[in-house]
Amino acid sequence: MVTSRSAVLRAPDAPYLLEDVELDAPGPDEALVRVVACGICHTDDFGRSGLLGEHFLPAVLGHEASGVVEEVGPGVTHVRPGDHVVLTFDACGTCTACVSANPTCCSEFELRNLTGARPDGSQAARDGTGAPLTSRWFGQSAFGQYAVATARNLVTVPDDVPLELLGPLGCGIQTGAGTVLNVLRPGPGCSIAVFGTGAVGLSAVMAAKLAGADEIVAVDIRPQRRELALELGATRVVDGGDPALAVAVRGDGPGLDCTFDTTGLAAVMTAAVEVLRRPGTAALAGAGLELLTVHPAFLAGKTVTYVYEGGGLPRVLIPQLVEWWRAGRFPFDRLVRTYPLAAINEAEADAQAGRTVKPVLLMPPVTPPGEG
C-alpha cells in the first residue's frame, strides 16, 4: 500500500480537492506507477456529467499520465521497476480484436475504461476515512503522485525523453495522430479537413502533414487556433462559425477525400460527412452527446466511422510519435502548458475556456521512505 497526494472530485459542480489517498499494491497483471505528469483531457469532463452513475463520484480522474514504474504485480513481464512509461487505455488482451492487434475495438473497452473500476467492480484506492474512491478511470486514474494501472496500459519510452511532456501521447495526441495515420491514411495527392483544433485536431493536422497530404483544411471558431493550425501544417483554414460551413470547407473542388470531426457537435459532424467527395471517409472522435443524423442516400459512396484512441497499437504508435518529435517533425510540445497539481482547477478552467490547448499537471515530488 502507498499514500498518494491526489486530486479528488467529490461532486459534479465541485472543485478538485487535494487529498491523501491510499492505493493498493499492484495485483496480478498490474503495476504501480509514480506519476510525473498527467494531461487534462476533455473526456475527464464526463466525471462531472452525472452520466456515469450515482456511485461514480467521488473519483480520482486523469488518463494521460507519464511516469516511472515503481512495482509490478504477478504476471507482469514487459515492464519492470525503473522503466519510464506512458499510460494509455486498458484492454482485455484476449478478445478477437485484441489478439488481432486492434485493442481500441476491445469487447471490454467501455467496461475497462469508462466505469472507473476494475472489470470485477473493485477499486484500487480509498480516501482518508477508508471509503472507496473511483480509481480506475481508463485503467489508471492518474491525477496524483501514484497510479495503479494494468500492464496493458503501459508503453515504455526512452529514459532521455522528458516525462513532463509525454503524458498526452497516451490519449488526446494519440487519438488525433492515430486516426489520421491508422484509419484515414491520407497520402500524397489526398485532401483532409479537420474540424476542431484542440489537442486532438492539431495532432491530426501534424499527422496529415507527416503523411504527405496535399490539402489540409483546419476548421475552428477561434482565430488563434486557426493561426496555430497553419503554423503546424494546415494549408487552409476555415472559420467554424461560417453559416455556409460546408461550402467554405469544400472550396472550389468536388470535396475532400477524408474528414475528421473532433467536436462531437451535430451540425459539424453533418458537415464533415457533407463535404466528402465520393468515395470518401469521415472519422468521428468528438466526446459529446449529440447525434449524427443523415439521410441514408446521403451516404452513397461514403464511409463514416467512430474511432477510439486513434485506432492503432499504442506500443507502436507512441514510440514512433516520440521519435518524430525528437526529429522535429511532430512538435506536439507546442500544444502543452504545464501547471502544478495544486492548480488543477485553474488548468481545467483554462482548457474549457480555450486559453490552453493541452494542460499538463506536474505532480508534487514524492518523499522517500523515512524522510519528511
| pLDDT tens column, 166-185 | 999 999 999 999 999 999 99
Hey, what's the cell of 224? 488563434
Amino acid of residue 124: A
User: What are 17's strand-pairing partners?
Assistant: 8
Q: What span, in angstroms and rounded, lies between the C-alpha atoms of 12 and 275?
A: 37
The predicted pLDDT at position 288 comes to: 82
Q: What is the pLDDT of residues 309-361, one digit of tens each?
A: 999 999 999 999 999 999 999 999 999 999 999 999 999 999 999 999 999 99
Q: Number of C-alpha atoms within 13 angstroms, CB side, residue 100?
A: 9
User: What are 192's strand-pairing partners?
Assistant: 216, 258
The predicted pLDDT at position 369 comes to: 52
Q: What span, in angstroms and rounded, lies between the C-alpha atoms of 267 and 190?
A: 24
Hey, what's the cell of 205? 493536422
Does the pTM surpass 0.85? The reply is yes
Listing from the earlier edge strand, what are the strands of the sheet with 302-306? 236-239, 215-220, 191-195, 256-261, 276-284, 302-306
Q: What span, in angstroms and rounded, lies between the C-alpha atoms of 24 and 22?
A: 7
Residue 230 DSSP SS3:
helix
Cβ-count burial 253-280 (b if 16+ within 10 Å, e if not): eebbbbbbbbbbbeebbbbbbbbbeeeb
Mean pLDDT, the chain, rounded, equals 95
Q: What span, in angstroms and rounded, lies between the C-alpha atoms of 293 and 57?
A: 33
Residues of the chain below pLDDT 70: 368-372
According to CATH, the topology of domain 2-170+333-362 is Quinone Oxidoreductase; Chain A, domain 1 (3.90.180)
Q: What span, in angstroms and rounded, lies between the C-alpha atoms of 333 and 164?
A: 10
What residue ranges of the chain are covered by domains with CATH 3.90.180.10? 2-170+333-362
What residue ranges of the chain are covered by domains with CATH 3.40.50.720? 173-311
Q: What span, in angstroms and rounded, lies between the C-alpha atoms of 11 and 221?
A: 31
The predicted pLDDT at position 207 comes to: 98
173-311: CATH, from 3.40.50.720, 3.30.540.10, 3.40.50.10860, 1.10.3720.10: 3.40.50.720
